[in-house]
Copies of this chain bind each other. A is one copy, B any other.
Amino acid sequence: MSDDLASRLREKGLRLTPQRELILRAVEELRHATPDEVLVHVRAQASSVNASTVYRTLEVLEELGLVRHTHLSDRAPTYHSTLEHEHVHVVCRRCHSVRSYDPDLVAPLVAALGEDGFSVDVGHLAVFGTCADCAASSSRSPGIRETGRRGQPT
């Protein structure tokens, strides 16, 4: 896995640096993290790593196919390791819970679009809506605006 990093970097004439190892490890450990969360996590272990390095590295790691991202909120994107099985994200706009589903969930969608020659990026998919709990108690999650300006998923 980290060896994977080394070899994949080499293949493209890129270099293995402590920062890149740390950032990849952070994404793997956090499982779902924004660039900023990655930064915080990395800084907790090693001393100084710069925000721009995190952005640049996440881009590289994504090109290498070691991490992926989705948009689970209106703010920062969320990165996760490709070591995890590919999954579809289902997000409740009310309580902001995120559940992961097997790609089977969207097999019919993938098939239907496939007939048009369109190939769906399943891992990137985020489905928004309202979860069971929140539908039940409409008084839940105090202070979260329905239409939501800046902040959580919209």
**Is there contact, CB below 8 Å, between A118 and B130?**
yes
Among B59, B117, B132, the residue within 8 A (CB) of A116 is B132
A59: contacting residue among B63, B77, B147, CB under 8 A: B147
Q: Closest residue to A116 on the B side, CB-wise? A: B132
A32 within 8 A of B: no
A128 touches which of B63, B108, B125 (Cβ 8 Å) = B125
Cβ-based interface call for A129 (8 A)? yes
Pairwise interchain contact A109-B112, C-beta atoms closer than 8 A: no
Q: A105-B109, A109-B105, A109-B106 given as contacts; is B117 within 8 A of A135 (CB)?
A: yes
The reply to whether the CB of A16 lies closer than 8 angstroms to some CB of chain B is no
Partner of A127, one of B59, B113, B129, B146: B113
Question: A154 to chain B: which residues have CB within 8 Å?
Answer: 69, 77
Task: Check B132–A128 contact: CB distance below 8 A.
Answer: no
Q: Would B147 and A63 count as touching, CB distance under 8 A? A: yes
Contacts of A93 in B (CB 8 A): 121
Task: Choose from B69, B118, B127, B136 the contact partner of A132 (Cβ within 8 Å).
Answer: B118
Residue A92 interfacial (CB < 8 Å): yes
Within the complex, which residue of B69, B74, B116, B127 is in contact with A120, where a contact is CB–CB below 8 Å? B127
Nearest 3 A/B pairs, CB to CB: A117-B132, A108-B108, A120-B129
Residues of A that sit less than 8 Å from B by CB: 59, 62-63, 69, 71, 74, 77, 90, 92-93, 105-106, 108-109, 112-113, 116-121, 124-125, 127-133, 135-136, 146-147, 149, 154
